[in-house]
Amino acid sequence: MTKKTAITKAKEVVASSIVDLYSRTLPKCLCIADLGCGSGPNTLLVITEIIDAIELERNGMGHPPLEYQVVLNDLPGNDFNSIFKSLPIFYEKTKKEKEHQMGPCFISGVPGSFLGRLFPSKSLHFVHSSYGVHWLSQAYLKQFQKDFSVFLRSRYEEIVPGGHMVITLLGRTSEDDFSTDFSCLKELLAKSLNDLVSQGLIEEAKADSFNLPLYAPCVEEVRAILQTEGSFDLEKLEMFETNWDLSLDNYNEEFVFDKYTSAQNITRHLRAITESLLVQHLGDAIINNIFQRFTENIEKHLSEEKSREKSRNVNLVISLRSKN
């Protein structure tokens, strides 16, 4: 899956946050929650990275092994079974890599919305959430302010005083900049639906009423919500860009890429996050046509001059510490 690069960039922030938490508190059992965990290869990758960072620190400090409790959360429709099925291999691999020096790790799943309480009071040490909190219960800035505040308040109840949380989400560059980044990808999806309306394959009213309930905030908006809500101290808020086609982030600007292959990579990524919403709204018979059309539109977009500037997502990574 192509999300690896963005996760690698956020990884440094996650590692420094968890190491700081561990070395300050030295818990016997560390409870970690991943909210909006999904069910792809990234789900357990991020857990591996968190454990690796702690184990490195622990060995360096010469402390005894600790136990890990890991809770994976997503909406009830998430494919938890596929995660659970991959756990025996995960446990085996972790044991081998750590040469049996690591304490036991207990992984479980908690279905439910993170826009509300999910865990007992003050039961978590570290919360991680990537590319989930920009999804809204409804549309846009006001709703994002409301949802994100509920998210923060619920986590405050659940995280031990001084516990940490790292959130990665899609963002945008400034308060009035709605023209670039992810918005452009949304426009290309809208264009693909309209193309199919012109061909008589989708009803116009159906295409018009499709809504992608996603809000990409800018840094100032996030700061303002954190300040007003007030449960967490902001340790770090960083912005980084990623290519729509994340595989291109490993190459320099001069790299000549194959536009159709890139368009296919981008489609695969967007399909993973929008397919279920499109199927709910338009049915599944049309879904391959939509994404075929989308690939063609992306390829056209990538062929236009200056498209490189408009083919990037802005990401925000936020590191927080729960107030006492």
Ligand X SMILES: C[S@@+](CC[C@H](N)C(=O)[O-])C[C@H]1O[C@@H](n2cnc3c(N)ncnc32)[C@H](O)[C@@H]1O
Q: 21-35 burial by CB neighbour count: b if 16+ within 10 A, else e?
A: bbeeeebeebbbbbb
Min CB(255)–ligand X separation in Å: 25
Min CB(197)–ligand X separation in Å: 27
User: Cβ closer to ligand X: 83 or 282?
Assistant: 83
The amino acid at residue 62 is: G
CB 127 within 8 A of CB 33: yes
End-to-end CA distance of the chain: 39
Within 13 Å and on the Cβ side, how many CA atoms surround 193? 20
The binding site for ligand X (CB under 6 A) comprises 3, 36-38, 40, 42, 73-75, 78, 113-115, 130-132, 135, 273
Min CB(111)–ligand X separation in Å: 9
Min CB(235)–ligand X separation in Å: 21
User: Cβ closer to ligand X: 10 or 222?
Assistant: 10
User: Cβ closer to ligand X: 113 or 295?
Assistant: 113
User: Can you tell me the distance from the alpha carbon of 305 to that of 309, in angstroms, rounded to the nearest whole number?
Assistant: 9
The 8-class DSSP code of residue 104 comes to P
User: Cβ closer to ligand X: 239 or 273?
Assistant: 273
Min CB(78)–ligand X separation in Å: 5
User: Can you tell me the distance from the alpha carbon of 219 to that of 271, in angstroms, rounded to the nearest whole number?
Assistant: 27
Strands 312-322 and 232-243: antiparallel
Give all strands (DSSP E) within the chain, no chain letters. Answer: 29-35, 67-74, 105-111, 124-130, 159-171, 232-243, 312-322
Min CB(307)–ligand X separation in Å: 24
User: Cβ closer to ligand X: 78 or 322?
Assistant: 78
User: Cβ closer to ligand X: 74 or 221?
Assistant: 74
